[in-house]
Amino acid sequence: MAGAKDTSKLGYRILLGAFVLVLGGSMLLYLVPQSPVSGEVSTDTVAKIGDESVSVQDVRQQLSQLEQRNPNMKPIEALYAQQILKQLVFEKEIEYEAKRLGIAVSDQERADRIRQFVPTAFNGGTFVGMDRYSAEVQTRFQLTVPVFEELIRQGLLEERFRKLVTDGISVGPAELQDGFRYKNEKVKLDYALIKPEDLEGKISPDEAEIRAAYEKNKSKYQVPERRVARYALADVNQIRQNVQISDDVLKQQYQTNIRQYQMPNRVHVEHILFMTVGKPDAEVEEIKKKAEDVLKQVKKGGKFEDLAKKYSEDPGSKDKGGDLSWITQGQTVPEFEKTAFSLNPGQVSDLVKTQYGFHIIKVLEKETAHTKPFEEVKDSLRPRLLLDQAEKQASDTADQLSAAIRQSNKISLDDLAKQYHLTVGETRPISATDPLLELANSQEAEHAIFLLHIGELNPPVRTDRGYVVLSLKSIQSAHQGSLEEVRDRVVADLKREKSTEMAKNKAEELIKRVKAGEKFDAAARSLGLEPKTSDPIARDGSIPGAASGKQVGAAFNLKAGDVAAPFSLGQNWLVYRVAEKTEANPADFDKQKKQLTEELLQSKRSLAFDAFRTALDSRLKQEGKLKLMPDKLKAFGTFG
């Protein structure tokens, strides 16, 4: 299925997923490739590879692309900035190495790969023309043709290096046997997970313990400087309550934006996808048989959503029972679109073949093109206009406040509040790291508080509540905290310390009792713990909420009935005994051999390419061809 204009649609997900595979597994954290920059290192340069550079602006540009699609990534922006830098540097390292070795991507190679991604750019063997080709690339990838073709070239170049590095890799019989055992040996465990946090509530330190802990760690309990500020707020929500919007204004807004209320022909569909991208013909035939079998189940009354969750290979809709939501004409590849728009609500298609694979399509709802009437949309227009008007009034008030403060440094906060009908309030004492709860955690307002002198007014600051004028009321100097000031911190630390020790002691006591002959369940309950029994798990499985198969790897070397030594998982402790052990069944080896070989090959190839990447990085550093200035990324904050 083709890429949609909305990145949440299936087509974009599938095509971008295929595109990432072509790039050899690269993260593809960006959408716009950077032009080579030659010359000396500038103050904006964060990495230099040969004669090319990566700048802070390059990183910022890619970060901006990501944030447009994921606004919630701001708290870990620094981590993404590091990953983007790593990827940009590697791309330029590959370019440098390719030039050194005389490796290049031919125009024919690039053209062949483009034909795979945009088959509709050709009618038979004839190019459909630049205008239609550009439109296809923009629709499917949200990219211009030059950017799209450069990404294709970069992907082919990295693919060439992957082939050079990994072509000689193979999997031997002993590795296959080890891998078979790794995936098929299973253990079932009786276990108890002991969490200090669950024990804290049972700990009540007495006054003598609290005082002793305070005296022992007195220097740890410093009280930072705290400040109290008064504020006068032009509250946007309060202003909004007094704003009136007439129907005439709403109608004008409706007419101005009438195009956004024009609804195209659209259909609400679900589908089950069986991917064939990159598969050999023989395997495609097997996939088709599987798809036909699932189609029969649907036709016999099988629940479409359940079958989609079980069989569909579209990661974007699988967990939603195949639901793609609404699609419009021109948004999908022709084969999918033709079928989807020909069905009536409730109908299910036969198999539909597209460049991505076989689809089973079900139509849930259908709408013909129409324009939403004013009465239907006017209530949705009002909140936005109310907010815009309130924001404008608040902004105008802020301008007037700024002018008043500039004209007289003796005007008081209360006089300003009275004159401009502002809400007056006072913050609690805050340190430089405390959240400013009264003003929606505004960092700009908090920063202003710690720059003010007592009695001084700060020009209006924009917060999520509105525009605020600040006046510093008092300063509490940093000092050694008395026990009464830091009692809560001392008690919390003491509880944490005692509960951590208690968790370890309970783990050791449980092991001791089980080894002495007590039943695991009874011994655990006598210690106030909750015994559980896992499902059978392999080494690549996990015990939900407790540990991974890898973490309990020692269990696979034990016999049924054996008890493992307790081990820590961070602050938690896990104690377990092997309830059952299932050996790998040799009869299953031949059935799994093909898939296991592919998995092991992929793993070894990934490790080999990672090693190549690390070695290339190290060599270029030693040769002075790679210079990094990671401190420049401090502009994006810190992580970890």
Write out the two tokens for 54.
């990566």
Residue 41 pLDDT:
45
Residue 43 pLDDT:
61
CATH number for the segment(s) 265-368: 3.10.50.40
pLDDT band of residue 82 (cuts 50, 70, 90) is confident
3-state DSSP assignment of residue 54: strand
Write out the two tokens for 131.
């205008």
For residue 387, report the phi and psi dihedrals to the nearest 5 degrees. -65, -40
Residue 36 pLDDT exceeds 80: no
pLDDT tens for residues 566-593? 999 989 999 999 999 999 999 999 999 9
Residue 638 pLDDT:
55
Among 69-73, 456-460, 591-595, where is mean pLDDT lowest?
69-73
Could you name the CATH architecture of 10-168+610-636?
Answer: Orthogonal Bundle (1.10)
Distance (Å, rounded) from C-alpha 8 to C-alpha 305?
19
Q: β-pairing, 352-354 with 323-328?
A: unpaired
Residue 463 pLDDT:
94
Write out the two tokens for 290.
């599987």
DSSP β-bridge partners for residue 263: 370
- CA torsion, points 233, 236, 242, 243, in degrees to nearest 10? 140
Spatial CB neighbours of 461, under 8 Å, sequence gap ≥ 6: 442, 444, 445, 448, 467, 468, 469, 470
Write out the two tokens for 183.
């995936």
pTM of the prediction? Answer: 0.55
Write out the two tokens for 434.
């405390």
pLDDT band of residue 121 (cuts 50, 70, 90) is confident
CA distances from 235 to 2, 239, 427 (A): 47, 6, 16
Please give the mean pLDDT across all residues of the chain. 88
The single residue listed with the structure tokens 């954290």 is: 29
Residue 100 pLDDT:
93
- What is the arithmetic mean of pLDDT over 511-517? 94
Residue 635 pLDDT exceeds 80: no
- What is the arithmetic mean of pLDDT over 109-133? 84
Q: Which residue ranges make up each domain of the chain?
A: 10-168+610-636, 186-218+485-582, 225-246+391-477, 265-368
User: Residue 515: what residue type?
Assistant: K
Residue 629 pLDDT:
87
Among 79-88, 134-143, 245-254, where is mean pLDDT lowest?
134-143
- What is the arithmetic mean of pLDDT over 378-391? 90
- End-to-end Cα spacing for the chain: 40
Q: β-pairing, 126-127 with 122-123?
A: antiparallel
Residue 124 pLDDT:
73
Residue 443 pLDDT:
92
Among 201-215, 225-239, 325-339, 495-509, where is mean pLDDT lowest?
325-339
Burial code of 209-242, b = ≥16 C-beta within 10 A, e = fewer? eeeebbeeeeeebebeebbbbbbbbbbbebbbee
Residue 194 pLDDT exceeds 60: yes
Same fold, 225-246+391-477 and 265-368: yes
Which range in 68-72, 142-146, 528-532 is most confidently predicted, on average pLDDT? 528-532
pLDDT tens for residues 406-452? 988 789 999 999 999 999 999 999 999 999 999 999 999 999 999 99
Residue 639 pLDDT exceeds 60: no
Residue 637 pLDDT:
60
Q: Which class for 528: exposed (0-12), middle (13-18), buried (19 or more C-beta within 10 A)?
A: exposed
pLDDT tens for residues 4-31? 333 333 333 323 333 333 333 332 333 3
pLDDT tens for residues 152-166? 999 999 999 999 999
pLDDT tens for residues 368-381? 999 989 998 888 89
> Comparing 352 with 333, which gets the higher pLDDT?
352
Residue 281 pLDDT:
84
Residue 306 pLDDT exceeds 90: yes
In contact, 524 and 530? CB cutoff 8 Å: yes
**Percentage of residues in the chain with pLDDT exceeding 70?**
92
pLDDT band of residue 70 (cuts 50, 70, 90) is confident
3-state DSSP assignment of residue 40: coil
Residue 7 pLDDT:
30
Q: Where are the beta strands (DSSP E) in 345-422?
A: 352-354, 357-367, 370-371
What is the fold, at CATH topology level, of the domain defined by 225-246+391-477?
Chitinase A; domain 3 (3.10.50)
pLDDT tens for residues 470-503? 999 999 999 999 999 999 999 999 999 999 999 9
